[in-house]
Amino acid sequence: MQVLLDSVDTKIDLRNVRMRFLFFETFRHPSATVALQLSDDMVSDIATVRRKFLTLPYRISLHGISLDRSAEVTVTYLGDNLVSVSSAAPISLSTTDFGLDEGRQKLEEAAGVTIVPAALITFDFLFAREGAPLQPATQTTGTATPASVALETQGNFSQEECIGRFEILSRTGNIYFSTGSARLTEESAAVLDAIGAIIARCPDMVIEIGGHTDSDGSDAANQRLSEARARAVAAWFADAGIPANRLLAVGYGEARPAFPNTSSDNKRRNRRIEFALAQ
- The DSSP string of 185-204 is PGGGHHHHHHHHHHHHTSTT
Instruction: Say if 150 falls within a structural domain.
Output: no
User: Which of 107, 141, 175 is at the close of a domain?
Assistant: 141
Q: Greater confidence, 36 or 174?
A: 174
- C-alpha 57/C-alpha 45 separation (Å) is 20
- Give percent of the chain with pLDDT exceeding 70: 92
Q: Greater confidence, 81 or 93?
A: 93
User: Which of 91, 107, 141 is at the close of a domain?
Assistant: 141
- C-alpha 85/C-alpha 88 separation (Å) is 9
> Which range marks the domain in which residue 233 is found?
159-277
- C-alpha 54/C-alpha 156 separation (Å) is 49
pLDDT of residue 244: 95
- Give percent of the chain with pLDDT exceeding 90: 81
Same domain, residue pair 84 and 167 = no
Same domain, residue pair 32 and 128 = yes
Residue 270 DSSP symbol: H
Same domain, residue pair 129 and 199 = no
Instruction: Say if 51 falls within a structural domain.
Output: yes
What is the average pLDDT across 53-64?
95
Instruction: Say if 202 falls within a structural domain.
Output: yes
Q: Greater confidence, 167 or 153?
A: 167
For residue range 10-31, list pLDDT tens digits in order. Answer: 999 999 999 999 999 999 999 9
pLDDT of residue 139: 45
Instruction: Say if 151 falls within a structural domain.
Output: no
Instruction: Say if 149 falls within a structural domain.
Output: no
Q: Tell me the whole-structure pTM to 2 decimals.
A: 0.87
Q: How many residues does the chain have?
A: 279
- C-alpha 236/C-alpha 250 separation (Å) is 15
What is the average pLDDT across 83-94?
94
pLDDT of residue 1: 83
Total number of domains constituting the chain: 2
